[in-house]
Structure 1
């Protein structure tokens, strides 16, 4: 009820009263949380209010039913793509712990969601990319690993610093927990699908995206493909920080591909599309197909011809 009507959330309304007046004076009462969330990282935002907003976000991301906009936008996608996850929890009173949102993220990477649902999942992924605590599955799988490998980043968990630490540790074989490793690989795959879900890389390449990839919409790896083409083109001068970060990401993707090879044909095609060496792979594929075609022309039939009279017996 509180998620549908923020005015019923007494703590939120009391602590954030001044911030609501400052940032969202004309907002519809039912949209006030969403409005204030968009201003959470403003310098003028009070720390107490920011903490309450973050706690509410963490709670909402454990169960898709606490996110009314997402639940409405994905009303057809959830039963269609996540029926098994719904069935597994139908006889339990436990929270979903983000499994439905996790399921929708997978379908987002496969470009199978409806347009409205895709938009809501993109927002959810962007929020979680800034703070690992908003990713229920990552927090559950990598909680101990983060304390062990990224203690300095825990002082300021926002800004994607914890996620960036995990990605770096994956590339250096520092993550020994297989479940955590799987989720970090998933973070890298999500970043490939949408650069906005990789806040550190996006911050480094924001100017280059505006300059070289103007007019290219986000999602489906389009902006990332544009940047990778610019990285390969020696005539294009990318920002040095962006070039360095892109090179690091390519190394991480190659390592992730070795650790977790593609499970489906769609995954394989996406990896080829995003690879800096995709032109080489395409040429090899065309050569193989061409060789089979030419071989068929010159070698003729592999089986013996049968006369029509024998076939019609």
Structure 2
């Protein structure tokens, strides 16, 4: 089965790998060519994505990703979306045409040599973080929009960040064996245990935590589990000020305990970095 070959992509012989790459690249550019995904998700597209105009395949995939954790989502469609997302991280060739079009300058200037999509995303994330800290605009706004979507996706499952998953493999087994990858469960577990994890895991995790507090709109756990509070009290705030807004509303009855727990952790990370200069923080990226 082709999905099996995609799962084993990094272990394939080069000739087979090239064939899988060509087909996968086509489905990443236009997911309607992924017939199994389309078959599994057709009812869900009618439920969630009826407003997507024909020909906007990239928007269709984004719509499915956005709704994949909702209660009405069919488990077969969700599995197909997860597979699509995991596979996309395995090769730089799997970047969408839209992403390439809007981020080509940044990728060519700063991320040459990155062989995987995951590597390109991390490279640009580091660059965007430095931009914010140093008040620069190395990444143009159209590319930032694409990157925000990718980073929000990545923060939903550790499976979408292979380097973090590899660095934290033993820690996941030790601390998070009862959690599943999706809905940020394992990532939240690692963050809850960040003082106990191994040094390689901590180094990678620290970068993610820093990104969470400086660019909170890319933090899936915060944005999804605090959605009701954000919508009610923080909808008019600049997205970078979401954590501050939530802190001011931490005693509101509408705030769920899970949101409050996540917020406490983000505030702890934020406070731990207050004694560092922006240059020191940037040098860690």
Confirm whether residue 6 of structure 1 aligns to residue 31 of structure 2: yes
Q: In structure 2, how many angstroms separate the alpha carbons of the residues matched to 1:23 and 1:227?
A: 29
Q: In structure 2, how many angstroms separate the alpha carbons of the residues matched to 1:247 and 1:24?
A: 35
Residue of structure 2 aligned with 1:152, choices 152, 158, 178 = 178
Please tell me the root mean square deviation across aligned C-alpha atoms, in Å: 3.1
Matched residue, 1:116? 142
Deviation at 1:268, TM superposition (A): 6.6
Q: Assess, with a 3 A threshold, how the Cα gap between structure 1 residues 18 and 209 changes in structure 2: closer, same or farther.
A: closer
Residue of structure 2 aligned with 1:45, choices 73, 88, 98 = 73
Contact residue 37 and residue 80 of structure 2 kept, 8 A:
yes
Q: Assess, with a 3 A threshold, how the Cα gap between structure 1 residues 210 and 135 changes in structure 2: closer, same or farther.
A: same
Q: In structure 1, how many angstroms separate the alpha carbons of the residues matched to 2:223 and 2:63?
A: 23
Structure number with greater CO (CA < 8 Å, separation at least 6) is 2
Matched residue, 2:11? none
Contact residue 93 and residue 116 of structure 2 kept, 8 A:
no
Computing the radius of gyration over CA atoms, which structure comes out larger, 1 or 2?
A: 1
Contact residue 60 and residue 67 of structure 1 kept, 8 A:
yes
Matched residue, 2:219? 198
Deviation at 1:14, TM superposition (A): 2.9
What TM-score results when the alignment is normalised by the length of structure 1?
Answer: 0.67
SS at match of 2:177: coil
Q: In structure 1, how many angstroms separate the alpha carbons of the residues matched to 2:70 and 2:168?
A: 29
- Which segments of 5 or more consecutive residues in structure 2 lack a partner in the other structure? 1-25, 132-137
Q: Assess, with a 3 A threshold, how the Cα gap between structure 1 residues 246 and 50 changes in structure 2: closer, same or farther.
A: closer
Written as runs of structure 1 = structure 2, the 5 A alignment for 1:64-103 is: 64-68=92-96, 69-83=98-112, 86=113, 95-96=115-116, 98-103=118-123
Confirm whether residue 247 of structure 1 aligns to residue 264 of structure 2: yes
Query: Which aligned segments of 4 or more residues in structure 1 are displaced greater than 6 angstroms?
Result: none
Q: In structure 1, how many angstroms separate the alpha carbons of the residues matched to 2:177 and 2:87?
A: 23
Contact residue 97 and residue 136 of structure 1 kept, 8 A:
no
1:211-230 CA distance string (max 9 Å, x none): 55442232xx33234445x3
Q: Assess, with a 3 A threshold, how the Cα gap between structure 1 residues 262 and 138 changes in structure 2: closer, same or farther.
A: farther
Residue of structure 2 aligned with 1:130, choices 145, 156, 164 = 156
Contact residue 128 and residue 139 of structure 2 kept, 8 A:
yes
Q: In structure 2, how many angstroms separate the alpha carbons of the residues matched to 1:47 and 1:243?
A: 29
How many residue pairs get aligned? The number is 246
Confirm whether residue 223 of structure 1 aligns to residue 272 of structure 2: no
What TM-score results when the alignment is normalised by the length of structure 2?
Answer: 0.73
Residue of structure 1 aligned with 2:42, choices 17, 24, 32 = 17
Contact residue 130 and residue 199 of structure 1 kept, 8 A:
yes
Matched residue, 1:265? 279
1:38-94 CA distance string (max 9 Å, x none): 3212322211111011010111133343132222211111122223xx2xx5xxxxx
Q: In structure 1, how many angstroms separate the alpha carbons of the residues matched to 2:164 and 2:232?
A: 34
Matched residue, 2:200? 179
Q: In structure 1, how many angstroms separate the alpha carbons of the residues matched to 2:213 and 2:233?
A: 18
